[in-house]
Every structure is written in structure tokens, then in C-alpha cells.
């Protein structure tokens, strides 16, 4: 029987400390490929292969389909499952996820400007992403909510407390969802930034409401274009990042009326767009 891959992998290493070598056992963040296959009727197509940390694979697939515009609601998915061997063993192949659509015909996929291989690090390139975004009917995020700066300042500590695999390996990104009172709702981890976001959005596709009208999203690393694109599709009005945003992400946030916060750490943050949602900041001079 095939073993289900875990989020952590043990490895031996030699550590040099103060001139002395010692043999140690260490935990690494697992990185393995996952193929997403789309099925409808008797049709089947490989949609993407991404390097990911095993865990919440079905959410990753659902989130990817939602943020890329392939599905618009939970009802579009009939079933998500792992691929099974065709022989009598019917063993599950944990690195291949089948998404069975409710209809009998595969949707048009030529507008998906993404190669069939996606790394865990970067995802779609900026130029292709911009062109694809321009072709989609995405409206700016509606006004509101308005929150106190103290709510934003309290988010990073809550995320760190819930990054279990990161604490063990030091090698994962995370995305977390909060309400406007700063209460934690959900988080997901992955070796890839955009995978963590897709898992979080996929959780909402399968279990919770979308769009996120009154929610705050925090990502553990930097906020790049693709992260912003995915969260705009999810309707997130406030996006925060522990590290820096990219210039393209700031442009996108301003174009779609998203409040974008960067460098959230140690009692401070930078506000790049959407200051009207942060109390007192809306009175700052242009």
C-alpha cells in the first residue's frame, strides 16, 4: 500500500558549531509534485503540476480552480479524489488529484495563461497574469470595512502561534484568515506562497462563504502580484504581509480598491493602498 506523504520529512545532517561537528536528525518541509486533473463526462485533462507540501490537497485543487476562474462556485465540483490505480489494488496515488466537474464538458482552458508545470516558488509570470486578469470580469472590491490599526498589529502573533509545521522545519509559508475584530478563522501552510493562499481559498470554496467581504488575509512572506490576484478573486478587502509587496502588487491593489499592508512586524506596518479602511489613516494627507 502506498504511504500518504506527510508535511514533514526527517533527514540526517552534520552541524558545525564552535568548531565541533555533530550528527543531528532534522525535520524538513516536504516538497512533492501534485498533478491536478480535470474531468468532465468522458473527458480528462491535466490542468497543472505544482510543487507543494502534502496536506489539504483537495483544498489546493479547489482554490486553484476558483482563483483561475475555472469554477465560480462550490456546486461546479461534483467530486474531488485522488487518482486510483486501474488494477485490482485500487491504490490511491496521493500526488494526482482528480477534480470531477458537475457538467459533462470541460470548460475552455485556453485563457489559462499558465504552463502545465508550476513551481512552488513563483507561479504565473507577471505579464501573462496581467493579460489574463484583463480578460476576466473582475470588479473592484466594494468599500468597507473600517478597522482600528491595533487589529492589524495583533495578527502576526496569532499566525506565528499556529504555524506548526513552520516551527518544526522553518521552511513553510502560511496564509491566514481573520474577521474584522482580529479573530482567527483559518490558516494553511505550504512550501509555496501561492499554494498556501490557494489552500486557504479552497477551504472557503468547499466549507465557507465567498467572497470575503468582511475579512482580513495575512500572508507570512512577501505580497506579490499573483497573491494579490488570487485574493482579489476571493473578494478580500484587506491584505497584509509580513514582508514587502512588489510594485505590481501595489498597482493591482490600488486598481481594485484593496487595502494593502506590508512589513507587518514589531508594532509597525506600512500602508500602501486603501487607507480609508484603517481608522485615523483615512485622515492622512494625499
Enumerate the active-site residues: 122
Residue where the block lists cell 509580513: 242
Terminal C-alpha separation, the chain: 63
Do the Cβ atoms of 258 and 241 come closer than 8 Å? no
All three cell numbers of 257: 480598491
All three cell numbers of 196: 498556501
DSSP state of 275: G
All three cell numbers of 239: 491584505
248, containing H or E segment: helix 247-255
Strand 184-190: give its sheet, edge to edge.
Answer: 184-190, 173-179, 215-219, 238-241, 259-265, 268-273
Amino acid at each position: 500500500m502506498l504511504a500518504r506523504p506527510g508535511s514533514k520529512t526527517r533527514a540526517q545532517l552534520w552541524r558545525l558549531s564552535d568548531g565541533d561537528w555533530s550528527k543531528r536528525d532534522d525535520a524538513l518541509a516536504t516538497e512533492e509534485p501534485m498533478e491536478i486533473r480535470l474531468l468532465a463526462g468522458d473527458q480528462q485533462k491535466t490542468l497543472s503540476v505544482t510543487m507543494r507540501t502534502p496536506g489539504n490537497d483537495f483544498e489546493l485543487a479547489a482554490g486553484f480552480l476558483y482563483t483561475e476562474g475555472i469554477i465560480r462556485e462550490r456546486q461546479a465540483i461534483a467530486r474531488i479524489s485522488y487518482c486510483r490505480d486501474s488494477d485490482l489494488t485500487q491504490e490511491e496515488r496521493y500526488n494526482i488529484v482528480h477534480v470531477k466537474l458537475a457538467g459533462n464538458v470541460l470548460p475552455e482552458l485556453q485563457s489559462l495563461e499558465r504552463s502545465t508545470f508550476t513551481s512552488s516558488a513563483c507561479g504565473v509570470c507577471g505579464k501573462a497574469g496581467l493579460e489574463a486578469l484583463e480578460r476576466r470580469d473582475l470588479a473592484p472590491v466594494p468599500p468597507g470595512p473600517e478597522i482600528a490599526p491595533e487589529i492589524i498589529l495583533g495578527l502576526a502573533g496569532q499566525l506565528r502561534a499556529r504555524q506548526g509545521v513552520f516551527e518544526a522545519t522553518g521552511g513553510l509559508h502560511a496564509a491566514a484568515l481573520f474577521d474584522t475584530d482580529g479573530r482567527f478563522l483559518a490558516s494553511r501552510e505550504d512550501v509555496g506562497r501561492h499554494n498556501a493562499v490557494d489552500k486557504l481559498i479552497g477551504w472557503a470554496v468547499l466549507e465557507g462563504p465567498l467572497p470575503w467581504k468582511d475579512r482580513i488575509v495575512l500572508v507570512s512572506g512577501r505580497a506579490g502580484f499573483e497573491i494579490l490576484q488570487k485574493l482579489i478573486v476571493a473578494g478580500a478587502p484587506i491584505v497584509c504581509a509580513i514582508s514587502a509587496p512588489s510594485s505590481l502588487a501595489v498597482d493591482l491593489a490600488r486598481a481594485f480598491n484593496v487595502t494593502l499592508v506590508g512589513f507587518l512586524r514589531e508594532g509597525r506596518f506600512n500602508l500602501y493602498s486603501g487607507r480609508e479602511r484603517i481608522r485615523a489613516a483615512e485622515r492622512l494627507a494625499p
